[in-house]
Protein backbone atom coordinates (compact mmCIF):
# COMPACT_ATOMS: atom_id res chain seq x y z
CA UNK A 1 0.00 0.00 0.00
CA UNK A 2 1.47 3.33 -1.00
CA UNK A 3 1.77 5.77 1.90
CA UNK A 4 -0.20 8.99 2.01
CA UNK A 5 1.79 11.91 3.45
CA UNK A 6 -1.27 13.48 5.08
CA UNK A 7 -1.94 10.48 7.34
CA UNK A 8 -0.51 9.82 10.79
CA UNK A 9 1.44 6.67 11.56
CA UNK A 10 -1.52 5.28 13.50
CA UNK A 11 -3.90 5.96 10.62
CA UNK A 12 -1.54 4.33 8.11
CA UNK A 13 -1.19 1.28 10.33
CA UNK A 14 -4.96 1.05 10.74
CA UNK A 15 -5.49 1.29 6.98
CA UNK A 16 -2.85 -1.37 6.30
CA UNK A 17 -4.59 -3.66 8.78
CA UNK A 18 -7.95 -2.92 7.15
CA UNK A 19 -6.50 -3.65 3.72
CA UNK A 20 -5.20 -7.02 4.92
CA UNK A 21 -8.65 -7.96 6.24
CA UNK A 22 -10.28 -6.89 2.99
CA UNK A 23 -7.78 -8.88 0.94
CA UNK A 24 -8.59 -11.98 2.96
CA UNK A 25 -12.33 -11.38 2.63
CA UNK A 26 -12.25 -10.76 -1.12
CA UNK A 27 -9.44 -13.18 -1.97
CA UNK A 28 -9.87 -14.48 -5.51
CA UNK A 29 -12.50 -11.84 -6.25
CA UNK A 30 -10.56 -8.58 -6.54
CA UNK A 31 -6.91 -7.66 -6.90
CA UNK A 32 -4.93 -6.00 -4.13
CA UNK A 33 -4.84 -2.80 -6.20
CA UNK A 34 -8.63 -2.69 -6.54
CA UNK A 35 -9.16 -3.34 -2.84
CA UNK A 36 -6.70 -0.64 -1.80
CA UNK A 37 -8.17 1.85 -4.26
CA UNK A 38 -11.67 1.39 -2.83
CA UNK A 39 -10.37 1.56 0.73
CA UNK A 40 -8.43 4.78 0.17
CA UNK A 41 -11.27 6.36 -1.78
CA UNK A 42 -13.66 5.46 1.03
CA UNK A 43 -11.26 6.99 3.56
CA UNK A 44 -11.03 10.23 1.59
CA UNK A 45 -14.83 10.32 1.33
CA UNK A 46 -15.18 10.54 5.12
CA UNK A 47 -12.02 12.48 6.00
CA UNK A 48 -13.46 15.93 5.30
CA UNK A 49 -16.60 15.55 7.43
CA UNK A 50 -16.17 12.78 9.99
CA UNK A 51 -17.15 13.86 13.50
CA UNK A 52 -14.50 11.63 15.13
CA UNK A 53 -11.25 11.32 13.15
CA UNK A 54 -10.02 8.29 15.09
CA UNK A 55 -12.79 6.16 13.57
CA UNK A 56 -11.95 7.04 9.97
CA UNK A 57 -10.06 3.82 9.11
CA UNK A 58 -12.91 1.70 10.51
CA UNK A 59 -15.55 3.69 8.64
CA UNK A 60 -13.51 3.43 5.45
CA UNK A 61 -13.20 -0.33 5.85
CA UNK A 62 -16.91 -0.82 6.46
CA UNK A 63 -17.84 1.34 3.47
CA UNK A 64 -15.27 -0.45 1.30
CA UNK A 65 -16.82 -3.81 2.23
CA UNK A 66 -20.22 -2.57 1.09
CA UNK A 67 -18.86 -1.14 -2.14
CA UNK A 68 -16.77 -4.21 -3.01
CA UNK A 69 -19.71 -6.51 -2.23
CA UNK A 70 -21.85 -4.41 -4.57
CA UNK A 71 -19.21 -4.41 -7.29
CA UNK A 72 -18.84 -8.18 -7.04
CA UNK A 73 -22.56 -8.59 -7.65
CA UNK A 74 -22.63 -6.11 -10.52
CA UNK A 75 -19.69 -7.79 -12.25
CA UNK A 76 -20.93 -11.32 -11.63
CA UNK A 77 -18.02 -12.17 -9.32
CA UNK A 78 -20.15 -13.16 -6.36
CA UNK A 79 -23.83 -13.15 -5.46
CA UNK A 80 -25.69 -14.94 -2.67
CA UNK A 81 -28.96 -14.10 -4.47
CA UNK A 82 -30.53 -12.33 -1.52
CA UNK A 83 -32.42 -9.17 -2.54
CA UNK A 84 -30.71 -5.87 -1.75
CA UNK A 85 -32.77 -2.88 -0.61
CA UNK A 86 -31.17 0.57 -0.67
CA UNK A 87 -32.68 3.39 1.42
CA UNK A 88 -31.79 6.90 0.23
CA UNK A 89 -32.43 10.37 1.65
CA UNK A 90 -30.54 13.65 1.72
CA UNK A 91 -28.26 13.47 4.75
CA UNK A 92 -28.39 9.72 5.55
CA UNK A 93 -28.69 10.78 9.18
CA UNK A 94 -32.35 10.18 10.03
CA UNK A 95 -34.99 8.69 7.76
CA UNK A 96 -32.88 6.31 5.73
CA UNK A 97 -30.95 5.20 8.83
CA UNK A 98 -34.14 4.42 10.73
CA UNK A 99 -35.49 2.54 7.72
CA UNK A 100 -32.28 0.55 7.47
CA UNK A 101 -32.37 -0.20 11.19
CA UNK A 102 -35.91 -1.57 10.98
CA UNK A 103 -35.16 -3.46 7.78
CA UNK A 104 -32.09 -5.25 9.13
CA UNK A 105 -33.88 -6.05 12.40
CA UNK A 106 -37.04 -7.39 10.75
CA UNK A 107 -35.66 -9.00 7.59
CA UNK A 108 -32.80 -10.81 9.31
CA UNK A 109 -30.87 -12.96 6.86
CA UNK A 110 -33.63 -12.88 4.26
CA UNK A 111 -32.32 -9.75 2.53
CA UNK A 112 -29.52 -7.17 2.57
CA UNK A 113 -30.11 -3.54 3.51
CA UNK A 114 -27.95 -0.52 2.68
CA UNK A 115 -28.45 3.24 2.95
CA UNK A 116 -26.97 6.44 1.58
CA UNK A 117 -27.46 10.17 1.14
CA UNK A 118 -27.02 12.83 -1.53
CA UNK A 119 -25.39 15.22 0.99
CA UNK A 120 -24.21 13.03 3.89
CA UNK A 121 -24.08 14.63 7.32
CA UNK A 122 -21.21 14.22 9.76
CA UNK A 123 -23.17 12.05 12.20
CA UNK A 124 -26.48 10.31 12.84
CA UNK A 125 -29.29 12.47 14.26
CA UNK A 126 -29.24 11.90 18.06
CA UNK A 127 -33.05 12.00 18.21
CA UNK A 128 -33.26 9.25 15.60
CA UNK A 129 -30.83 7.14 17.62
CA UNK A 130 -32.89 7.65 20.78
CA UNK A 131 -36.20 6.93 19.07
CA UNK A 132 -34.87 3.70 17.59
CA UNK A 133 -33.33 2.67 20.92
CA UNK A 134 -36.83 2.82 22.39
CA UNK A 135 -37.71 0.01 19.97
CA UNK A 136 -34.64 -2.02 20.90
CA UNK A 137 -32.71 -1.16 17.72
CA UNK A 138 -29.24 0.39 17.98
CA UNK A 139 -28.29 2.61 15.03
CA UNK A 140 -25.62 4.52 16.97
CA UNK A 141 -22.81 2.63 15.24
CA UNK A 142 -24.04 3.56 11.77
CA UNK A 143 -22.59 6.50 9.87
CA UNK A 144 -23.81 8.83 7.10
CA UNK A 145 -22.39 7.87 3.73
CA UNK A 146 -22.97 8.71 0.09
CA UNK A 147 -24.42 6.38 -2.45
CA UNK A 148 -22.05 5.19 -5.15
CA UNK A 149 -22.63 3.91 -8.65
CA UNK A 150 -21.88 0.27 -7.86
CA UNK A 151 -24.10 0.29 -4.75
CA UNK A 152 -27.09 1.65 -6.69
CA UNK A 153 -26.51 -0.75 -9.58
CA UNK A 154 -26.37 -3.73 -7.21
CA UNK A 155 -29.65 -2.88 -5.46
CA UNK A 156 -32.89 -4.61 -6.39
CA UNK A 157 -35.18 -2.14 -4.61
CA UNK A 158 -34.39 1.55 -4.14
CA UNK A 159 -36.45 3.48 -1.59
CA UNK A 160 -36.12 7.26 -1.79
CA UNK A 161 -37.14 9.70 0.93
CA UNK A 162 -36.87 13.33 -0.01
CA UNK A 163 -33.75 13.38 -2.18
CA UNK A 164 -35.72 14.60 -5.21
CA UNK A 165 -33.86 15.03 -8.47
CA UNK A 166 -30.60 14.02 -6.78
CA UNK A 167 -31.81 10.44 -6.40
CA UNK A 168 -30.14 8.15 -8.97
CA UNK A 169 -32.31 6.51 -11.61
CA UNK A 170 -31.24 3.24 -13.18
CA UNK A 171 -33.44 1.15 -15.50
CA UNK A 172 -34.62 -2.22 -14.31
CA UNK A 173 -34.83 -1.29 -10.63
CA UNK A 174 -37.90 -1.25 -8.43
CA UNK A 175 -38.28 2.27 -7.06
CA UNK A 176 -40.44 3.45 -4.17
CA UNK A 177 -40.69 7.07 -3.07
CA UNK A 178 -41.78 7.37 0.54
CA UNK A 179 -43.23 10.72 1.60
CA UNK A 180 -41.77 10.75 5.11
CA UNK A 181 -41.08 13.85 7.21
CA UNK A 182 -37.44 14.73 7.84
CA UNK A 183 -36.75 14.24 11.56
CA UNK A 184 -33.93 16.82 11.58
CA UNK A 185 -34.68 19.50 14.16
CA UNK A 186 -37.80 17.77 15.50
CA UNK A 187 -38.28 16.95 19.15
CA UNK A 188 -38.35 13.32 20.23
CA UNK A 189 -42.16 13.09 20.30
CA UNK A 190 -42.36 14.11 16.64
CA UNK A 191 -39.46 11.83 15.68
CA UNK A 192 -41.42 8.93 17.19
CA UNK A 193 -44.23 9.65 14.73
CA UNK A 194 -41.77 9.56 11.83
CA UNK A 195 -40.21 6.37 13.22
CA UNK A 196 -43.55 4.59 13.45
CA UNK A 197 -44.48 5.65 9.91
CA UNK A 198 -41.20 4.26 8.62
CA UNK A 199 -41.68 1.00 10.53
CA UNK A 200 -45.10 0.42 8.93
CA UNK A 201 -43.66 1.01 5.48
CA UNK A 202 -40.67 -1.27 6.10
CA UNK A 203 -42.91 -4.07 7.37
CA UNK A 204 -45.05 -3.80 4.23
CA UNK A 205 -41.97 -3.84 2.00
CA UNK A 206 -40.53 -6.91 3.70
CA UNK A 207 -43.85 -8.70 3.32
CA UNK A 208 -43.82 -7.95 -0.41
CA UNK A 209 -40.24 -9.12 -0.80
CA UNK A 210 -40.96 -12.33 1.10
CA UNK A 211 -43.88 -13.06 -1.22
CA UNK A 212 -41.70 -12.93 -4.34
CA UNK A 213 -40.32 -16.38 -5.31
CA UNK A 214 -36.51 -16.49 -5.21
**Of all residues in the chain, what percent are helix, strand and coil, respectively (each to 5)?**
50, 10, 40
Alpha-carbon distance 60 to 40, whole Å? 7
Whole-angstrom distance between the N-terminal and C-terminal Cα of the chain? Answer: 40
Radius of gyration of the chain (CA): 17
Task: Count Cβ neighbours within 10 Å for each residue of 114-127 and write b for 16 or more, e otherwise.
Answer: bbbbbebbebbbeb
Alpha-carbon distance 96 to 162, whole Å? 10
Residues labelled as active-site residues: 89, 163, 167
Amino acid sequence: MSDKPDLSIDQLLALRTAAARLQERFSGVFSTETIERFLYHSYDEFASRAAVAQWLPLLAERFAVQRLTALARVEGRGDDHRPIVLFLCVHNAGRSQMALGFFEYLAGEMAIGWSGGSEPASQIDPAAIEAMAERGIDISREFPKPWTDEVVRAADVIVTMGCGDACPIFPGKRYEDWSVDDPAGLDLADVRVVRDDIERRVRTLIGEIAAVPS
